[in-house]
Structure 1
Amino acid sequence: MTVRTSELNVVVKGSGLPIVFLHGYGVDHRTFLPCEDVFTDDEPWQRIYVDLPGFGGSPAEGTAPNADAFLALIERFVDNRIDSRFAVVGNSFGAQLARHLVGAFRDRVVGAAFFSPVLVDPRDATLPEKVFPRSNRELRDRLDPVERALFRANAMDQSWGAWDRFARCVLPGLQVYDREFGELLRASFVPVERVEYEKGSVDIPALLITGRQDTIVGWSDQQILSRTYTRMDNVVLDACGHNPHVDRPVAFDSCFREWVRRVAAELRS
Structure 2
Amino acid sequence: MLEHTAIPSEDASMNLAYDQSADTGPAVVCLPMFSMSRAATAAALSPALADAGLREIYLDLPGHGDNPANCPPTSQSMLDTVCAWLDHHVDAPVLLAGGSYGAYLAAGIARQRPDLVAGLLLLCPGVTIARPSRDLPDQPPLDAPTGWLDTAPTELHAHLDAALGHRTPTVVATVLAALTSGGPGDPTFQQQLQSGPGYALPDENTEVVFDGPVSVITGRQDRIVGYADQFRAMRRYPRGTYTVIDAAGHYLPYEQPTLLRSLTQDWLRRTRG
Query: Which TM class, normalised by the smaller chain length?
Result: 0.7 to 0.9
Letter in 1 for 2:199: F
Letter in 1 for 2:244: V
Is 1:22–1:52's contact at 8 Å kept on the other side of the alignment? yes
| Structure-to-structure mapping, 1:235-250, within 5 angstroms | 235-250=243-258
* In the alignment, structure 1 residue 154 sits paired with structure 2 residue 156: no
Which residue, out of 175, 193, 201, partners 1:191? 201
Q: Could you tell me which residue of structure 1 aligns to residue 178 of structure 2?
A: 169
Q: Could you tell me which residue of structure 2 aligns to residue 35 of structure 1?
A: 45
- Once residues 82 and 114 of structure 1 are traced to their aligned partners in structure 2, the CA distance between those partners, rounded to angstroms, is 20
Structure 2: gaps spanning 5 or more residues: none
Letter in 2 for 1:95: A
* In the alignment, structure 1 residue 219 sits paired with structure 2 residue 227: yes
Q: Could you tell me which residue of structure 2 aligns to residue 256 of structure 1?
A: 264
Deviations 1:198-243 (A, max 9, x none): 73x3332210011122121121111133212111110011222111
- Once residues 193 and 204 of structure 1 are traced to their aligned partners in structure 2, the CA distance between those partners, rounded to angstroms, is 19
Which residue, out of 105, 110, 114, partners 2:118? 110
Letter in 1 for 2:167: Q
Is 1:155–1:246's contact at 8 Å kept on the other side of the alignment? no
- Once residues 205 and 233 of structure 2 are traced to their aligned partners in structure 1, the CA distance between those partners, rounded to angstroms, is 14
Is 1:32–1:169's contact at 8 Å kept on the other side of the alignment? no
Letter in 2 for 1:48: I
Distance change in 2, residues 1:178/1:134 (3 Å): farther
| Structure-to-structure mapping, 1:67-106, within 5 angstroms | 67-106=75-114
Letter in 2 for 1:94: G
Q: Could you tell me which residue of structure 1 aligns to residue 60 of structure 2?
A: 51
* In the alignment, structure 1 residue 18 sits paired with structure 2 residue 20: no
Is 1:116–1:211's contact at 8 Å kept on the other side of the alignment? yes
Deviations 1:57-82 (A, max 9, x none): 1112x211111111111111111112
Percent identity over paired residues: 26
TM-score normalized by the length of structure 1? 0.85
- Once residues 211 and 5 of structure 2 are traced to their aligned partners in structure 1, the CA distance between those partners, rounded to angstroms, is 32
Which residue, out of 229, 234, 238, partners 2:242? 234
Cα deviation, residue 36, structure 1: 0.8
Which residue, out of 119, 125, 128, partners 2:134? 125
Deviations 1:155-211 (A, max 9, x none): 2223243134313434436x9342221111112321234463x73x33322100111
Cα deviation, residue 130, structure 1: 6.3
- Once residues 180 and 244 of structure 2 are traced to their aligned partners in structure 1, the CA distance between those partners, rounded to angstroms, is 24
- Once residues 103 and 250 of structure 1 are traced to their aligned partners in structure 2, the CA distance between those partners, rounded to angstroms, is 30
Is 1:20–1:87's contact at 8 Å kept on the other side of the alignment? yes
- Partner SS, residue 114 of structure 2: coil
Structure 1 residues 219-228 or 149-158, which shifts more? 149-158
- Once residues 210 and 117 of structure 1 are traced to their aligned partners in structure 2, the CA distance between those partners, rounded to angstroms, is 8
Is 2:49–2:261's contact at 8 Å kept on the other side of the alignment? no
- Partner SS, residue 131 of structure 1: coil
- Partner SS, residue 182 of structure 1: helix
Cα deviation, residue 12, structure 1: 1.1
Is 1:20–1:48's contact at 8 Å kept on the other side of the alignment? yes
Distance change in 2, residues 1:203/1:147 (3 Å): same
Distance change in 2, residues 1:125/1:147 (3 Å): closer
Is 1:206–1:233's contact at 8 Å kept on the other side of the alignment? yes
Distance change in 2, residues 1:52/1:238 (3 Å): same
